[in-house]
Amino acid sequence: MKEFEKWIKKAESDLLVIKNNLAADEIPIDACCFHAQQAAEKYLKAYLVSKRINFPKIHDLQALLNLCIEINTAFNQLNDYAMRLSDYSIAPRYPDAFDDLTINDAENAQKDAIAIKDFVLKNFFD
């Protein structure tokens, strides 16, 4: 398995966590939002790895996206998704942060992560 495929596999696990949790009786909304951010991050890292671009060990979607934009300016289309998901990288891990999140927030985060996934996979061989 190629290195970028390992990143994709990890990202797919995050998306599966969201899918399974959204179907549960009790939905851990904060966890769904967190995993959406994580999936997006891993797809961006998969793209960078596929292009042999070294990146710092960060969780900043905007910084990772900027590296992707340097390779392909079409990645600018992902700015809104990345900005919306960025808040979910750290805050949902702590008590009281984002206590007002709704199922709608989790579903939108899932959609944003899938939009990033679809775009990245479509541009792997640009």
> Nearest Cα to 37, choosing from 1, 81, 103?
81
CATH superfamily name and code, 3-122: Nucleotidyltransferases  domain 2 (1.20.120.330)
- Residue pLDDT, tens place only, 35-48: 999 999 999 999 99
- Across 65-81, average pLDDT: 96
The answer, as to whether pTM is greater than 0.85, is yes
**Torsion on CA atoms 61, 62, 68, 71, rounded to nearest 10:** -170
For the chain, the 3-state helix, strand and coil shares in percent, each to the nearest 5, are 70, 0, 30
Asked whether residue 66 carries a pLDDT value surpassing 90, the answer given is yes
More confident residue, 110 or 56: 110
Asked whether residue 92 carries a pLDDT value surpassing 70, the answer given is no
- Across 90-111, average pLDDT: 82
Average pLDDT, the chain: 92
* Spans of all domains in the chain: 3-122
> Nearest Cα to 68, choosing from 107, 3, 122, 1?
122
* pLDDT at position 3: 92
Alpha helices in 23-96 (DSSP H): 29-50, 61-71, 79-86
CA distances from 73 to 79, 94, 96 (A): 11, 35, 38
